[in-house]
Amino acid sequence: MAPDNITIMEGLLSHANESGVIEYKGINPGKTIAFIACIHGNEIAWIHVVEWLRTMFTDAPPLSGTVRCIIANHEAFFHGQRYRATDLNRIWNQEYPKNPPIPHEFEVRERIRPWLEDVDVCIDIHSTTLPSASMVIPASSSTGNRHLCEALSCEYVVHNIVNYLQGSPIIAYHANLPGERISITIEGWQHSEQACIERSLYNARVILERFGYIKGSPMVTKADTIQHIDVLDAYYAQYQGERLEWIYSKNPKWFDVIPKGTIFAKNATVAFESLQDSVLLFPQKEALHSWKEMFFLGSAQGLGRLEGDMRGFRSFSLS
């Protein structure tokens, strides 16, 4: 019987240093790549990638450079939680709290931050709670990010989302470090789906081959037709202190098209209307905390684009 995820995690941490980092030095000089694992404790696709890297590189080191695995919030993982106090992937632009108690995720951030400073390529591995599709999220539109996204196996590349998050993710922090950096997030699929695990492993191999850490394999081929989506706006759980009611759908799905003119959310005083045919991204039926993102609206190729600097939706008074 295959070991369960807790057993695998315990084994990985036994190979890690006090910061939760496992590092493999290459035979020749080269770039440093970091696979970011366990930013969210309830996501598990990453665990199979890090275990595969361990089995591959324990006896045969990378051909060049340094391969680094950063196991971030393993405390949340063992508690079966997304996070212990606050979302680790939204606090990278926030000051460290001055007064105790210090939220756990700020301590995790400071524990792993030094291991990002010399990283040339940062790959943050995630999966989703609701059924979705495979996608890649670049931190910016840099040439390096764009070329890597095009090389990966995914159905969508989602652009500009970091500009609409309530906080700053780890890839945004890494992308803003000095020098040329490649910073992307890979969202494989739903957490425990075998397709998510296989896609994540496949893309990890493609990345390692692309940057010369392992030899290329004729089995690795690129077959996907990628659709690019530009994020236009985000809808939040509250508006001016009052909770919003989701009226678009009782069962929202990733990449649903919301037709132009659809009123998709409202409360007693305000309603929100889509300004054009838009794509639904990252749907959540409930937000755990006020002002957290509920979903994002994007414009996809084939749906047209907004002119100028217009928003993806408009609000209007019901009074």
Give the number of domains in the chain. 2
| 150-169 tens-digit pLDDT | 999 999 999 999 988 889 99
pLDDT for res 104 = 97
Structural domain of residue 117, as residue ranges?
Answer: 5-210
Q: What is the pTM of this model?
A: 0.90
Q: Is residue 226 part of a domain?
A: no
Same domain? 204 vs 290: no
Asked if residue 51 and residue 181 are part of one domain, the reply reads yes
Is 101 in the same domain as 244? no
Same-domain status, 145 and 278: no
Q: Residue 136 contacts by C-beta under 8 Å, 6 or more apart in sequence?
A: 149, 152, 154, 156, 157, 158, 184, 185, 186, 187
In a domain, 70, yes or no: yes
Cβ-in-10-Å burial (0-12, 13-18, 19+) of 298 comes to: buried
Is 261 domain-assigned? yes
CB 125 within 8 A of CB 37: yes
Is 191 found in the same domain as 256?
A: no
pLDDT per residue over 77-126, tens digit each?
A: 999 999 999 999 999 999 999 999 999 999 999 999 999 999 999 999 99
Q: Are 131 and 236 within one domain?
A: no
Q: For the beta carbon of residue 207, count every other beta carbon within 10 angstroms.
A: 22
Same domain, 173 and 52: yes
Among 210, 242, 260, the domain boundary falls at 210
Q: What is the mean pLDDT of residues 192-208?
A: 88
Q: Is residue 21 assigned to a domain?
A: yes
Q: Are residues 80 and 173 in the same domain?
A: yes
The CA-atom distances, in angstroms, between 107 and each of 19, 38, 212 are: 11, 15, 34
pLDDT in tens, 261-286: 888 888 888 888 888 888 888 877 65
Closest CA to 235 of 246, 221, 219: 246
Q: What is the mean pLDDT of the chain?
A: 87
**pLDDT at 287 > cutoff 70:** no
Mean pLDDT on 21-30: 97
The residue out of 149, 175, 210 marking a domain boundary is 210
Residue type, 282: F
141 and 199 part of one domain = yes
Paired residues of 233 in beta bridges: 297
Residue 223: inside a domain: no
163 and 40, same structural domain?
yes
On whether residue 289 sits in a domain, the answer given is yes
114 exposure class (CB count in 10 Å sphere: 0-12, 13-18, 19+):
exposed
Cα 78 from chain centre: 20
Q: Are residues 116 and 19 in the same domain?
A: yes
Residue 53 lies in a domain: yes
Dump pLDDT digits (tens) for 35-51: 999 999 998 888 999 99
Q: Are 136 and 49 spatial neighbours (Cβ–Cβ below 8 Å)?
A: no
**CA separation for the pair 224, 249 (Å, rounded):** 29
Percent of the chain residues topping a pLDDT of 90: 54
Domain with residue 59: its CATH number is: 3.40.630.10
For position 256, what pLDDT does the model report? 87
Residue where a domain terminates, one of 156, 180, 210: 210
Assess if residue 177 is contained within a domain. Answer: yes
| pLDDT at position 310 over 70 | no
195 and 76 share a domain?
yes
